Amino acid sequence: MLAVGTKAPDFTLPDQNGVDHALHDYLGKKVILYFYPKDNTKGCTTQACGFADRYPLFNEKGAVVIGISKDSVRSHKNFETKNDLPFTLLSDPETKVIQLYDVWKEKKMYGRTYMGIVRSTYLIDEQGIIVKALEKVKAKENPQEMLDLL
């Protein structure tokens, strides 16, 4: 994880509509930047829908929600449509930003070792500084946890 108190690294990635978004576009707003393993899986859907359900509350607090995974733009569009997600999903198939934010780690499942995204969330302030970094978050609890931090 990147250290609290450091400047969040800037990046540009395409969203679910193929439109590029840069982190610096969000200066002046709080950003909840969450990294998740895969569209349309149980945990990732639970987490995304949790953020969607609370989205008006995040807006009231001046925060935007941005999800990042290595899924394609098309996969993100399907995920957004299927779950009526009101926030931005960014596609990082080459894992450049995922690695930049130090959430690409060795994982183990059923005795198999592989590289993958560790479900993690950053809270970035209006000046682009990381104020909270949470690793191995629980999909169901993370949206409310982030709302409470605001």
Residue length, the chain? 150
User: What is the identity of the amino acid at 144?
Assistant: Q
- Which of the following is catalytic: 44, 65, 133, 146? 44
| Residues 6 or more apart whose Cβ sits within 8 Å of residue 96 | 11
Determine how β-strand 104-109 pairs with β-strand 112-117: antiparallel
- 44 catalytic? Reply is yes
Q: How far apart are CA 24 and CA 5, in angstroms?
A: 17
* Active site amino acids: 44
